[in-house]
Chain A
């Protein structure tokens, strides 16, 4: 990389500056780091627009719902009180990949955001297997536009209150609306939209009011065994929204479609939950490399580099547990440190690293190693595989067990030879989102009788559902199912021993 003229001086920037910065960053990202990205689109927005974007999960197009207004009010309050800076980046997993930059930021910050979002996150979105599995960046914006139009049409046809009730209920079950293991058919949101339109047209075309008046034959009750019924309903089913969409007897077609929209959007964001540490680690590592290179080659001034470092260190600061600002593990800090550590192991391993990472230590090409990591892991497997003793010592990690009935907490493991594996296993487990969230399944429907829906929650280590919220969610679930619903908390180790029940009876109307 040869030195070049300064990209900018001072804080000010204009569109030429942005272009110059981008043109300087691109070869570093693509040639030196070997990043592979979607085409980029950089959008300059104002503070208010950033608040808007925040409120709708960063998406430029989103359907309307009061909860987004609530989120907006919360962010706005915090922002106006000066308690929090706006995050300086929002980036959308779409093709082209859209990164927002704020008009009030300095030229250095714009360079930082481009390096971080337009290259770091962008590369991660395009290459990580979870995103490839679950998201369709080509069509997400089209799909969101479809969703927004569909829902606003529903509001016109069926009334705001009706749609709001439905969305409230769907949102309450959103976390139970994702498939956690790959489906047989990959999602294509554009196809989904077309199919729905075709379905609708077909229904309208063949609709004949006469048929409604024909006296119905009683549904021939399946004589087949219970197991066959369950198989036909796809039970047990952990994707509750999917189950309701397909099987809830009382939902109208448009209601099923709305459930489907909420479910597909939940699924779209699911990979982001699974890869927070890696995604931020990747973006932070990339922006650090790129900004450092810009400084080395004299493209940015010392002052600008210092401004960058100030912001960078703020982002990757990890307070220790005894500091008042401690709020759990900072994913930026953990991700960045692990990426740095992997690079170190590849370039400059210690004898310990050679024992722990025989395939990685000393291979020499850190970017090849990192790109491979970014593509093929998610947070839990990433930490389980790559958290090194060096890093555990640096962070001085320790493991504390809190048993409810003991009067003391016990230190179970610390950063020493005996503790490394345990620490790593435990930390990885914390990032295993599917394992951390409650495991709930639809297990049975009383088809012959009351149509009661039965769900099971597997209780592990005495972790019951938070009862008050569970009761509220159950009410929503009941409103969607239309008949009685029963949620049993069971201990599968003891033969599905029922420990606790939540029951909501159908409203008699």
Chain B
């Protein structure tokens, strides 16, 4: 008998099969993940989800009998029946179904099954294909990542880093320098010696001593000596990390209802999860405004209520102030997302557009505006119907593929699609910076 301890063998042999399985059900998992993102609170979204997918797409069909005209059951535990007894069929048609499916092994009748996605798997699918456009600028100063790069050769190292070519070159030059006799030379001498010995010539002795000397030399000067060994050397170097700041601008004026605020918050939260996951060095600035704007902390931004008039330009000005104070556009990639119901003080619209166009957009990599409404006249085509004053003011700035994009949302389930539209990976075109 042999006892083998396999515990140290890698487990997770099935990892690849699991990945294949996930690939296979990807579309279904994606759908399930999106549904989950609609129904769950955002806090829950950060946590791995238990996802249920219909078994249909991963069905493994086999040929088996359907129900026949007659079934024979052998059951244990008879208490009362005698031969010939008739048992009323249990209500629901199919009599004794539980017993039959048990005996049949239950094949072909799998229900949808649920399984746990890991946090990584969940977010991967959730955020698949999304990225911030144009993360171009870097800042070298803030460094917290190290890379590994080749740095010449060293005389010590681990065997896997042995530089074979370099070692052999060292060995060759040493052999030449120290005059290690070549194998051919020795072979030649040996044959000469053999010849001389055969002819019993006088040169035998001198040849023999010459040969001995060569052989001694050869054994002293090794073919490969420890001093020849060279190893590839690696050194760590600091790797610059792309950094970005995201401005979240939200209208919290009296005209914003609970519903529209909920949608706006969900949008920002999605953005937050997305940014935290994709970018290592990212800062988020929360600005809320009524007729005046203030930078607030996350808690206040998401929780507290305000009333009052609306002046969107105040938020843009606040953003400019913060940029000037803390985020030099030379060093930072700047992004902004603005949510509002579109009601603005009529006289403020021109100023707002002007600010956006000439001051903010030049600083920004990307600016997304979402307009949240109770409802639209035409849900299928939210661009039609009543235009808000802000929408009308912003509309000329939007260009296909440009750095300013705007969308309208009135229902929770539209948030995710709109979010994806705004942040889906751009085809070629804009060069992306390193993702940290």
Residues of A within 8 A of B (CB): 15, 18-19, 22, 26, 39-46, 48-49, 51-52, 55-56, 64-70, 72-74, 76-77, 80, 96, 100, 103, 118, 164, 168, 171-176, 318-323, 326-329, 395-405, 407-416, 418-419, 423, 426-427, 429-430, 437-438, 440, 457, 460-467, 469-470, 472-473, 476
Contacts and interface: CB of A to CB of B under 8 A. Distances in A.
B52 to A, nearest CB: 10
Nearest to A477: B63
Interface in B41-71: 58-71
Given A328-B102, A400-B75, A43 B6 contact: yes
Contact of B21 (A19, A69, A429): A69
B60 A171 contact: yes
A403 B89 CA distance: 11
Contact of A466 (B11, B20, B108): B108
Nearest to A96: B2
B65 A408 contact: no
Of A26, A69, A405, A457, chain B has the most CB atoms within 10 Å of the CB of A69
Interface string B8-24: 01011110111111111
B94 to A, nearest CB: 9
Given A174-B62, A398-B78, 8 more contacts: A45-B6, A52-B12, A64-B17, A321-B76, A397-B78, A410-B85, A466-B65, A469-B108
A410 B89 CA distance: 10
Of A118, A426, A461, chain B has the most CB atoms within 10 Å of the CB of A461
Contacts of B114: 77
Contact of A66 (B5, B23, B63, B77): B23
B103 A430 contact: yes
B72 A401 contact: yes
Given A328-B102, A328-B103, A426-B74, A465 B66 contact: yes
B82 interface: yes
A19 B62 CA distance: 44
Contacts, number: 256
A467 B98 CA distance: 21
B1 interface: yes
Nearest to A47: B11
B131 to A, nearest CB: 26
B99 interface: yes
Contact of B4 (A42, A418, A440): A42
Contacts of B88: 407-408
Interface of B: 1-7, 9, 11-14, 16-24, 58-79, 81-89, 95-96, 98-99, 102-103, 108, 113-116
Contacts of A164: 20
A410 B9 CA distance: 56
9 contacts: A19-B1, A56-B17, A80-B116, A397-B74, A400-B73, A413-B83, A438-B65, A462-B69, A465-B63
Contacts of A400: 72-73, 75, 87, 96
Contacts of A72: 14, 17-18, 21
B96 A409 contact: yes
A44 B21 contact: no
B70 A68 contact: no
A19 B77 contact: no
Of A18, A40, A64, A466, chain B has the most CB atoms within 10 Å of the CB of A466
A19 B3 contact: yes
Nearest to B17: A69
Contacts of A460: 68
Nearest to B106: A327
Contacts of A39: 1-2
